[in-house]
Amino acid sequence: GAVLGFPLLTSWAMKSLPVSHGAVELALLPLATAGFAMFRGGECPSLKFWVSSIIGSAAVIVYALHLGFGQLQFADAALLAAVLILGLSYAEGGVLARELGSWQVIAWAIIIGAPFFMIPVGLSITAEMLHAPLQAWVSLIYLSVVSQFLAYVAWYSGMAMGGIARVSQVQYLQPFLMILFAALFLGESITLFTLAVAIIVVFSVVLGKNASVSKKEVHPQKMMNKDA
């Protein structure tokens, strides 16, 4: 889900969708993660938590509408599926990280997913790739080592320590961090409206992280015996 399903669905969908649709996708991801945390992680967020989460989602959705959301398309179904897949993957990874450790979880995910990557990657290799500029190779290495591995190590470790639902609220900051880095590296402008919405989102994240989340212990062996 994390290393194959989500990247594949979003990459395909965003070929034909505007950026505002991706912003809405990111707004729904923390809610999906918190929802799956209830079923897979045994967590029970409080009313304060859900209120803060709804505020964060609403703020990002309003921002996306301000950008010009446009009409719903078939690719939006792929984005919705991607959100559900990654929300479940985050919840499962957070639970597994408590047992295996954060880096082991993502390492095994990459190993299991590797056979599905090798054939399409092998078929797409061309001689022209060998002449790609250094900047392209550095970007590829960064995506492979940092985005796809080290970032997940930190993410699953944080969920294992702080709780899946509570830590999931940090995802509301992602669209605005993207805007910040776009301004730093690509020279894009940041509007006052963007800053105002970002402040609201930060407030909702702080409120959600301080909200109480009760937890029931989930024992995988007992669940397996019950299923059997």
169-185 pLDDT per residue, tens = 787 777 777 777 777 87
> Is the Cβ–Cβ distance between 25 and 77 less than 8 Å?
no
C-alpha Rg value of the chain to the nearest Å: 19
Range of the domain at 218: 5-124+132-222
Q: Look at residues 94, 118, 116, 117 and name the one whose alpha carbon lies nearest to residue 106.
A: 94
93 pLDDT band, cuts 50/70/90, is confident
DSSP string, 17-61: S-HHHHHHHHHHHHHHHHHHHHHHS-EEE-HHHHHHHHHHHHHHH
Query: pLDDT value at position 214?
Result: 64
What are 97-108's pLDDT values in tens digits? 888 887 888 888
Q: Is the pTM of this model over 0.75?
A: no
pLDDT at 137 exceeding the cut of 50:
yes
Query: pLDDT value at position 224?
Result: 45
pLDDT at 38 exceeding the cut of 70:
yes
How far apart CA 157 and CA 153 sit, in angstroms, is 6
Tell whether 90 is covered by a domain.
yes
pLDDT at 113 exceeding the cut of 70:
yes
Query: pLDDT value at position 223?
Result: 46
Tell whether 194 is covered by a domain.
yes
Total count of domains within the chain: 1
Tell whether 51 is covered by a domain.
yes
Tell whether 180 is covered by a domain.
yes
